């Protein structure tokens, strides 16, 4: 998870799935969450895994 990039789809420790839109220098990320494209600021440590196409189906 050290290599997170904009556009990665991630799962947080509380079950939120979102797309990384910004990686901040203070160990936080901005995620875009569907269906309404809400943006959330989360701690990098809250990211538990990358969501791959295989996991989505």
pLDDT in tens, 2-44: 889 999 999 999 999 999 999 999 999 999 999 999 999 999 9
**Could you tell me if residue 1 is inside a domain?**
no
pLDDT at 1: 74
**Could you tell me if residue 2 is inside a domain?**
no
The C-alpha atoms of residue 45 and residue 38 are separated, in whole angstroms, by: 20
Report whether pLDDT(57) > 50: no
Residue 7: Cβ within 10 Å count: 8
Report whether pLDDT(53) > 80: no
**Could you tell me if residue 21 is inside a domain?**
yes
pLDDT at 56: 52
**Could you tell me if residue 4 is inside a domain?**
no
Domain count, the chain: 1
pLDDT at 55: 55
The three-class DSSP label of residue 1 is coil
Parent domain of 17 = 9-56
**Could you tell me if residue 50 is inside a domain?**
yes
Closest CA to 25 of 12, 39, 8, 44: 44
DSSP state, 42?
E
More confident residue, 19 or 52: 19
**Could you tell me if residue 32 is inside a domain?**
yes
* The token pair that represents 21 in the structure block: 């839109």
């Amino acid at each position: 998870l050290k290599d997170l990039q904009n556009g990665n789809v991630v799962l947080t420790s509380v079950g939120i799935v979102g797309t990384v839109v910004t990686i901040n220098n203070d160990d936080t990320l901005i995620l875009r969450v569907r269906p309404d494209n809400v943006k959330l600021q989360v701690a990098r440590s809250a990211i538990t895994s990358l969501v791959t196409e295989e996991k989505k189906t």
